[in-house]
Structure 1
Amino acid sequence: MEEMTTNGEFLSKDTTIPALKTEVPNISEDGHLHGPCALEELILNSLTFIVAVVGMAGNAAVLWLLGFRMRRKAISVYILNLAAADFLFLCFNFLNSIQDITSLITHIHSHLFNFFSSGFFCSYTASLSFLSAISLERCLSVVCPIWYRCRRPRHTSIFVCLLIWALSLLLTILRSYHCIVMNSLHLSNWCLRMHSFSAGYLTLLLVALSGSSLAIIIKMFCGSGRMPMTRLYVTVLLTVLVFIFCGLPYGIRYSLKNWFYVNDQNISCFFFLLLFFLSCVNSCANPIIYFFVGSFRQQRRKTLKWFLQRALQDTTDDECVGSVSRGALEMSGNKEAEKSSDDQLLSWS
């Protein structure tokens, strides 16, 4: 079915292809914006642009530090790939915001729309997958600590990250093929199946993320054998919490949009832009969480590398301080022994 827009053109109501926006503000001949919620949409696009720039800078710093300046461990491999997925998602939002702010055209070009839609889906799916993998990894280390330390395969994190990227790209390619290329041949059933499978995959990731995070919280705060709260667990739990409030609504809207036709204008004329803005906040918040947890209770000025290492440490502050003090005592003891031996040699000579 098709419906007439305000400027006399037809807009498709096909439920198999989600639109980036239901309506974009128009520009009159005198250069002024008009249309419902035009000013609000311009403000949200501008805020999304600013958040995307800040988030890209933060995730680029994480990518540089973990990729070239720090020794990679199991958890740092996941964080590195999560930062890459967030960086890609923010790049697509950055380009989309520039498109909206500069041109403010009524209908986005079909190739540009397909590029943005595929990029959003791929990077969002990869980001949620990496976050679920991090939470499951930490859950295994808490529930099965002996197996995790002694029996866990060495290159598990690298294999899981490669598998996540492959699945995300495969889902994106199949979704784009059946819903964009084959949709012109009126084969919409396969498109609906792909949307249902994609929504089911996102739901499975959400269940794994929620279940593993809940298991970590129970193991940390309940029962007699409670595990100590390390900075790494604080980092993971804060990242999951921010995703639930900022990143999850975008995935819920995607699932509902493709299972049931939802007219965004009946809810809010800038509802979809608001979800994009919140998802940008989620991707931008992750580097801020890392550096905040690493700098917490630290009065001295340190480098970003030191803060990131501290945020990913799997030991408590007391254990870290104890190891440092023991190392200092051993060094001082060695120096005293060397000094006494030198004194003995001088007396004998």
Structure 2
Amino acid sequence: MPTGISLARRAVPLVLFAAALSGPAVAADYPSRPIRAIINVSAGGTADVFARTLGEELHRRLGQPLIIDPRPGGGFIVAGRACADAEPDGYTVCILSGETLVYNEFLFKRLPYDPRKDFAPITNFFFNTQALVVSAALGVHSLPELAALAKAKPGTLAYVAPSIPLGLFFDRFNRQNGTDLVRIPFKGGGEAVSGILSGTTPIAFFGLANFIEHLRGGALTGLSVDGAARSPLFPDIPTLRELGYTDEITRQYFGLVAPAATAAPIIARLHDAIVGIMNEPEFRQRNLIERGLEPIGDTPDAFARFLAQDRVLSERVVKEAGLQPQ
């Protein structure tokens, strides 16, 4: 008679065989109920608006709604923890920025989640083009002109830049040009744009989407963008690299991940449906390009490789900034 141990040994391959057979079935039946999407920013922002628009299209394709669950604040940690703690059943996905996925590892001594192990990459949605703009009232049309004005008015011109890399750009700018541009705390896109338009904070470097209307209307002047290529919305605005600023700036992006143990067939089904939507010309133009976003829609493996590369660059940026983990 087989012993308990021998029965257990026989059972192992049967379990593995059953698991292998279940993969396609899981994907075929999925989803059978609404999918929750945790997002690490507040409602109404660029990524949130994109997520809700994408969710409407995904509902049509998969037959189930995408319920957006904003988890802002806490240094972008709250959403990361909620994602890591969620059941890996395919009914929770997470829309997270680079702060949650990469940067926090180098900014905090302890995190309630592991950025390298707790998430299964699905796709990188987009790069959010960052634009360096000034109030048209300043009368400058290039970075050299801005440097000349700043030298003539030391310590009087203020700027806003929400992220570490963009703040580092101004640190380098001040060092290289002998200027003293003053950083003002970033309190959100709406308030920052008001400050630029009023002239109280006439210089800014953050999301292009915030400036489109005012650039077209002439209230703001674009000096540069952070992308590898010029924005198709404003082809006259040069990139930083064109202007000789070759120091790397980490890009702002939002990607889709799932809790780490989510089944591969589910990851594949979500990826194929979402990237299919993103590749539709009308959706791509209206919801990405016209909003100042650079579409990506890469594979899970490509997104994983990008995150690994971004960790190397982000660690270097944090060290250059002299920041110590808190």
Query: What TM-score, normalized by structure 1, do the two folds share?
Result: 0.27
Question: Higher strand fraction: Structure 1 or Structure 2?
Answer: 2
Query: What TM-score, normalized by structure 2, do the two folds share?
Result: 0.28
Higher relative contact order (CA 8 A, sep 6+): 2
- Structure with greater Cα Rg: 1
